[in-house]
């Protein structure tokens, strides 16, 4: 039985909210001074927290890949991942297409038939183009899709080896974010890298590394819940402190990743400060709707651009959360449940001869 850890759901909500706050303030042209605005400008940190968390939770949720990989198990796992992320992605992608078709001022030169096809297949971040397109935020979902393909093999390798190897892998992933060796190789080949984002697999490499860091972290942190509560509290405090510190210096994604690693390790303990801050009902609810919040908040901003512009930040966030809640209950959860139920049905030829006929 896989243990449910509410705080791991709760922190996902705050990661998504951090991204929303960035887009509704700094990304929307809001001016301001002070630490609060500085933190909001670093909302991209929410993506890093989310990807570390994703690798961590996957390692927690799929113990079947720690010993072996079988084709039926892999197929069932991958189908469930598609059922989890694809329906809402498809709906928001089609919504952007429809809005562009009726004249909303959101289409960019990057929104072409080719990039629409890439988005449809969720491969837009795999290096085929350099710029974001359509629902630009879905580039992270494209990275997730790539990571899902390889996750069982990564998990198998890490769980077959002693924990010290996973610690080394986590450190290596931080180093990749710090040094960006993929860009160094391109420079060596004489390629200008200043404006590279998605091309040459740049973001795919960097942020798949963040995901792998989360998987390695779980392997290292196994058994930490048996330690005294002061250990989990110390990890949570240290993680939050490093995330806060990272927002006071020039942007360094690797520092943010270090903070995320410590914070999420502390949440595995499922007690103390971590449970208090991220395991409460409000946090867990926000975590449950976080995927909808992440994918719909920019769409909302486009649809109601003139109305939203005059609202206070608190009102904008409230409207985004309400929209995400509706999206979660009407689109995300029903479609996921339907597809999983559909995928769990066995074909007639697979049923025993004595099985009764079903409708």
Better pLDDT: 34 or 246: 246
350 lies in a domain? no
353 lies in a domain? no
Measured CA to CA, the distance from residue 332 to residue 86 in angstroms comes to 9
In the prediction, which pLDDT does 30 show?
58
Per-residue pLDDT at 355 exceeds 50 = no
Q: CB neighbours of 154 closer than 8 A, spacing ≥ 6? A: 212, 215
Paired tokens of 97: 């297409």
141 lies in a domain? yes
100 lies in a domain? yes
In the prediction, which pLDDT does 333 show?
93
66-124 residue pLDDT tens: 888 898 999 999 999 999 999 999 999 998 888 877 766 566 778 888 999 999 999 99
φ/ψ of residue 195, rounded to 5: -110, 20
pLDDT-derived band at 269, boundaries 50, 70, 90:
confident
257 lies in a domain? yes
Number of residues in the chain? 359
Helix axes 6-24, 290-303, angle to 10 degrees: 20
| Residue 193 domain boundaries | 6-338
Paired tokens of 3: 């243990």
194 lies in a domain? yes
Better pLDDT: 210 or 23: 210
331 lies in a domain? yes
Place of tokens 């060596």: 188
Measured CA to CA, the distance from residue 138 to residue 140 in angstroms comes to 5
pLDDT-derived band at 348, boundaries 50, 70, 90:
very low
Q: Hey, is 178 helix, strand or coil?
A: helix
- Percent of the chain topping pLDDT 70: 89
351 lies in a domain? no
Residue burial 25-59, b: 16+ Cβ < 10 Å; e: rest: bbbeeeeeeeeeeebbbbbebbbbbbbbbbbbbbb
φ/ψ of residue 139, rounded to 5: -60, -35
What's the total number of domains in the chain? 1
- Percent of the chain topping pLDDT 90: 49
Q: What's the first-to-final CA gap in the chain, in angstroms?
A: 31
pTM: 0.87
């Amino acid at each position: 039985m896989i243990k449910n850890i509410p705080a791991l759901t709760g922190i996902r909500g705050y990661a998504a909210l951090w991204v929303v706050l960035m887009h509704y303030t700094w990304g929307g042209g809001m001016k301001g001074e002070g630490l609060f605005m500085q933190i909001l400008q670093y909302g991209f940190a929410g993506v890093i927290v989310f990807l570390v968390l994703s690798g961590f939770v996957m390692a927690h949720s799929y113990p079947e890949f720690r010993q072996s990989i079988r084709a039926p198990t892999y197929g069932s796992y991958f189908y469930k991942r598609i059922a989890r992320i694809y329906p809402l992605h498809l709906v928001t992608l089609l919504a952007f297409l429809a809005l562009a078709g009726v004249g909303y001022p959101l289409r960019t030169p990057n929104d072409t038939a080719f990039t629409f096809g890439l988005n449809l297949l969720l491969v837009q971040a795999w290096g085929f183009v350099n710029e974001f397109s359509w629902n630009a935020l879905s580039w992270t979902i494209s990275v997730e899709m790539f990571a899902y393909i390889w996750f069982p093999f990564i998990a198998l390798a890490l769980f077959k080896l002693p924990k010290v190897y996973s610690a080394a892998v986590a450190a290596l992933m931080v180093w990749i974010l710090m040094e960006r060796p993929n860009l160094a190789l391109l420079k060596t080949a004489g390629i200008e890298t200043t404006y590279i984002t998605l091309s040459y697999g740049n973001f795919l490499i960097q942020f798949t590394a963040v995901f792998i860091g989360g998987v390695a972290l779980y392997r290292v942190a196994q058994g930490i819940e048996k330690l005294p509560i002061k250990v989990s509290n110390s990890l949570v405090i240290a993680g939050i402190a490093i995330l806060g510190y990272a927002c006071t210096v020039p942007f360094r994604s690797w520092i943010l990743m270090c903070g995320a690693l410590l914070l999420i390790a502390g949440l595995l303990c499922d007690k103390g400060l971590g449970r208090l801050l991220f395991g409460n009902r409000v946090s867990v609810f926000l975590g449950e709707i976080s995927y909808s919040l992440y994918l719909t908040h920019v769409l909302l901003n486009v649809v109601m651009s003139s109305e939203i512009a005059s609202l206070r930040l608190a009102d904008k966030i409230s409207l985004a959360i309400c929209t995400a809640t509706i999206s979660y209950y009407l689109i995300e959860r029903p479609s996921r449940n339907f597809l999983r139920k559909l995928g769990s049905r066995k074909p007639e030829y697979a049923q025993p001869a004595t099985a009764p006929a079903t409708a």
